[in-house]
Amino acid sequence: MSAPGSLLRSPSLLKYALIGDALASGAAGLVLVAAAAPLAGWLGLPETLLRLAGASLLPFALIVAWVGTRAVPPRAAAWAIVAYNAVWIVESFALLLFGGYSPTSLGVAFVVAQAIVAGVFAELQVFGLRASRIAAA
């Protein structure tokens, strides 16, 4: 079993982080699209907002999966995915601060939690990009 530090330096980390991001984004997108109506009531967020957020995650998940399944993920594409995740995080907190909505406590927790997940994937992708650069050198 390898230590966590060695995993963060593994050339395979980028692929794992991208595939994990694709799976999580795709699952979240499907849930948001399919269950927007009941989620809207529980989260205190508009059904249309949830459905559109979910619909935007589906093509993102496909793109991330494609990048993550390449023998060598294209670095520019991986950096673009990191940037997309960063924008998602900023927009999530902007929604809570300036969106004009009144989410429930569960809604706030949901928005914060999915922003944290996006941040974790982005950070793992950055570690993976660094590890793959070192391995190639």
Domain spans, the chain: 13-136
What 3-state DSSP class applies to 96?
helix
Instruction: State the number of CA atoms in the 13 A half-sphere of 93 facing the CB.
Output: 9
Q: What is the pLDDT of residue 8?
A: 63
Q: What's this model's pTM, rounded to 2 decimal places?
A: 0.90
Contact between 67 and 18 (Cβ < 8 Å): yes
| Tokens linked to 41 | 């009531």
Contact between 17 and 121 (Cβ < 8 Å): yes
Non-local (6+) Cβ contacts of 131 within 8 A are 8, 9, 10, 11, 13, 14
pLDDT tens, residue order, the chain (137 aa):
455 566 666 779 999 999 999 999 999 999 999 999 999 999 999 999 999 999 999 999 999 999 999 999 999 999 999 999 999 999 999 999 999 999 999 999 999 999 999 999 999 999 999 998 765 54
